[in-house]
Amino acid sequence: MIAPSTPSQRLDGRRALVTGAGRGIGAALAAALAEMGAEVSLAARSRNELEALASAIKTSGGRALALALDVTQTERLEEALLGLPPFDILVNNAGTNRPKPMREATIEDYDAVFSLNVRAAYFVSKCVTTRLIAEKRGGAIINVSSQMGHVGAANRTLYCASKHALEGLTKAMAVELAPAGIRVNSIAPTFIRTAMTQPFFDADPGFEATVLSKIKLGRLGRPEDLMGAVAFLASDAASMITGASLVIDGGWTAE
């Protein structure tokens, strides 16, 4: 008898696109894919940040290139992405949050949150999967959602609504794209300490205590806490996983 062997999580020979890759979670996820052997295209608006990250990845022995791109400019996505070789892996990480009471949220707030958190993910996915289907190639898409895509929270109606929408999009895409061999999953992190979230903690010292009271593991998340999950979902080790949401919330939604 030959003992079964664990499927590899290596990504050698595959091309990955990570949106919102300039800093924080996006930078960590891009580094994780590069460490597993993927050639990673780093997409964001700030070319300087992207080039610095690409240089750091190359110094570590990985392969990366900067792709200055505003994913909310839907009309330019096709021009920017369809002319490139197909991507085997897509991480829809670009996102934003404008926390405030529902009665204070404006139309501009609504449009900004949904344009980046939902619309951009939809149309970037459309561009990437169009190429994969045309070339009869499988692939993996990972949408960066949130624990707030599974629960509700005061002062976060727009964010929660957008992340619930992203979870629905993940499931619908998984069903539609499965016959083409394209898997679609999400990760749903708790509060991760990044440049985007730090101002919320700085503005209200009591906010961190409130958050920690809900995270059963007793600490905020770090970008590194998400790296293994994304590398796994992108790899052959997750070849039977699609339409799933991997909740990385320290136990927040368990209660």
Q: φ, ψ for residue 123 (rounded to 5)?
A: -80, -30
Per residue in 13-28, pLDDT (tens digit) is: 999 999 999 999 999 9
Number of domains in the chain: 1
Q: Which pLDDT value is given to residue 7?
A: 94
The mean pLDDT of 142-158, rounded to a whole number, is 97
Please check whether residue 105 lies inside any domain of the structure. Answer: yes
Is residue 4 in some structural domain?
Answer: no
The answer on pLDDT for 196 being more than 80 is no
Q: Catalytic site residue 163?
A: yes
> Does residue 254 form part of some domain?
no
Write down the catalytic residue from 159, 171, 214, 216: 159
pLDDT top residue among 201 and 56: 56
Q: Is the dihedral of CA 76, 79, 85, 88 positive or negative?
A: positive
pLDDT tier at 205, thresholds 50, 70, 90: confident
In angstroms, the Cα distances linking 149 to 33, 156, 159, 202, 251 are: 24, 11, 8, 24, 15
What residues make up the domain containing 69? 15-247
**CATH code for the domain in which residue 71 is found:** 3.40.50.720
Q: Is the pLDDT of residue 168 over 80?
A: yes
**Within a domain: residue 111?**
yes
In sequence order, what DSSP letters do the residues of 205-249 get, joined into one string?
A: HHHHHHHHHH-TTSS-B-THHHHHHHHHHHSGGGTT--S-EEEES
Q: Answer whether 113's CB lies under 8 Å from 96's CB.
A: yes
Which is catalytic among the residues 163, 171, 214, 216?
Answer: 163
The pLDDT tens digits of the residues spanning 80-126 come to 887 889 999 999 999 999 999 999 999 999 999 999 999 999 999 99
Tell me if 255 is assigned to some domain.
no
Residue 216 annotated as catalytic: no
pLDDT band at 221 (very low <50, low <70, confident <90, very high): very high
On whether residue 72 sits in a domain, the answer given is yes
Other residues' Cβ atoms within 10 Å of the Cβ of residue 81: 24
Question: Would residue 129 count as lying in a domain?
Answer: yes
Question: Does a structural domain hold residue 7?
Answer: no
